[in-house]
Amino acid sequence: MRTLIRASHIIGFQDGEHRHLQDGVIVVDGNEVIHVGSSFDGTADTEIDATGMVVTPGLINTHTHLYESPLDKSFVEDKGPRQFYGSGLFEYLPARSAASDAATARACIAFSMAELIRSGTTTVMELGSYGDDVAELATAAGLRTYIAQGYRDGRWFTRDGKRAEWEWDAEPGQQAFRRAVEFIERVNGKANDRIRGFLSPMQVDTCSEELLRQSRQQATEMGVPLALHASQSVVEFNEMTRRHGLTPIEWLQEIGFLGDDVILGHAIIVGGGTWANYPADDIGILADTGTNVAHAVWVFARRGIAMESFSRYQDRGVNMTLATDTCPQSMLEALRYAAVVSKVMDRSTELATAADVFNAATLGGAKALGRDDLGRIAPGAKADLLFWAGQSLWMTPLRDPVRNIVYNAQHEDIRHVMIDGELVMRDGTLASIDEAQVAADLQAAGESMWSRLPEGDWNNRTVDQLSPNAYRPFEG
């Protein structure tokens, strides 16, 4: 099937960069773009009239935890113990994870599919524990998905809410590593190659040197991306310097882990910045090794933590990508917060521009995945497209589509979503997802998790004790 799309505004790809084409056409043959330009002399089987609309490449979300992130809502906001520098890693997330099960995970994944597509994600990377569920539900939703079965041979915990501790068990880590490799071999290329696998040792401080070296070698042999949480908290940063006398990124360089197929989430607490107050050139190491960064601005910004600075990484030559990590799983908000928070940190309106963050969410993500057929509208690229209302309350007046999208657009402005040449959302309606049902299932999953929360908390606290509501209950 050959489809001709006529649009008032197209963000096409030309001479190595995005370009703004007005009153143009896109021709899609099957799942691939074959033509972009002002006109088309050939024939087509069908036509999409996108007059008045903006068509852009789909957004690439390089770091998510779909199986649990929706349950952060009404739980982690406004909380973060000062002894852990505001991070929720050592109290809130372990308690949530221990109180969840396979049923709550599946509800989260199903809900996430709707949330991602509605907010502009056409390619997502999932670091988690329920790979088969993710593959099944992503296939049904039509979402292009990279999936990793996470593994580690250590874990962090707190006994008293005051100190973080680590304990190690090598054999379960090795078993999980082998399962992760087997999973990739089993799912890679499914759903017309929309499903692919990658390797994800979970955290730099919970993986031994041996496990990270094995991961590095295996990723090279299999030709798959390699993702790792690193430099994501002050507690982690201090622990790694205590162990090795090196920053997390310096240590990863020393053991030969870094490279252009590596995506570090989140590389935000780095040597040379004020959060760690530790002299080093971590940003230079990332640039020189070609290592990619998955920047999930919101998960930190809501805790009062921000990257210093997006533009410094970019100017040094680090390939920056954008991600959501946690709820809301909205790449539209990721674009906006990346731009605005970065401007605040640099005290400059002319840095972290709309073009910079849009590039990170498209071309940067594609580069990190080693894909020149994603993140762009050009002949040979996959037909992963977003159709934005151009004449809505939020998008009018329309002069610069990308600035309007980054600073003004709302989720409702995404009218259609095409992935792999198929419309998975048309006129704001998802093709294969019952939104009311996935929302109801997530509500039930949340209530189930909240009721079991004392089982996973170090102090056996209820959800209302660990995370009191914003307002007290009404009496009488």
Number of domains in the chain: 2
Name the residue with higher pLDDT: 154 or 88. 154
Cα 220 to Cα 462: distance, rounded to the nearest angstrom: 45
Residue 86: CATH number of its domain: 3.20.20.140
CB of 36 within 8 A of CB of 292?
no
CB of 361 within 8 A of CB of 321?
yes
Cα torsion 422, 426, 428, 429 to 10°: value is -90
pLDDT at 38 over 80: yes
Mean pLDDT of 130-139: 98
> What tokens does 321 get?
């990508």
Q: Is the domain of 320 the same as that of 416?
A: no
- Residue 267's region, left for phi above 0, alpha for psi from -120 to 50, else beta, is left
User: Which pLDDT belongs to residue 163?
Assistant: 87
The model carries a pTM of 0.96
Burial of 393 (0-12, 13-18, 19+ CB in 10 A): exposed
Structural domain for 353, as ranges = 59-368
Q: Is the domain of 398 the same as that of 322?
A: no
Task: Give the residue among 344, 221, 325 at the shortest CA–CA distance from 267.
Answer: 325
Average pLDDT, the chain: 95
Q: Is the domain of 313 the same as that of 408?
A: no
In a domain, 476, yes or no: no
pLDDT at 455 over 90: no
User: Which pLDDT belongs to residue 467?
Assistant: 86
In a domain, 466, yes or no: no
Mean pLDDT of 45-74: 95
In a domain, 253, yes or no: yes
Q: Is the domain of 25 the same as that of 126?
A: no
User: Which pLDDT belongs to residue 89?
Assistant: 73
362-413 confidence digits (pLDDT tens): 999 999 999 999 999 999 999 999 999 999 999 999 999 999 999 999 999 9
In a domain, 77, yes or no: yes
Residue 16: CATH number of its domain: 2.30.40.10
Task: Give the residue among 97, 33, 95, 98 at the shortest CA–CA distance from 68.
Answer: 97
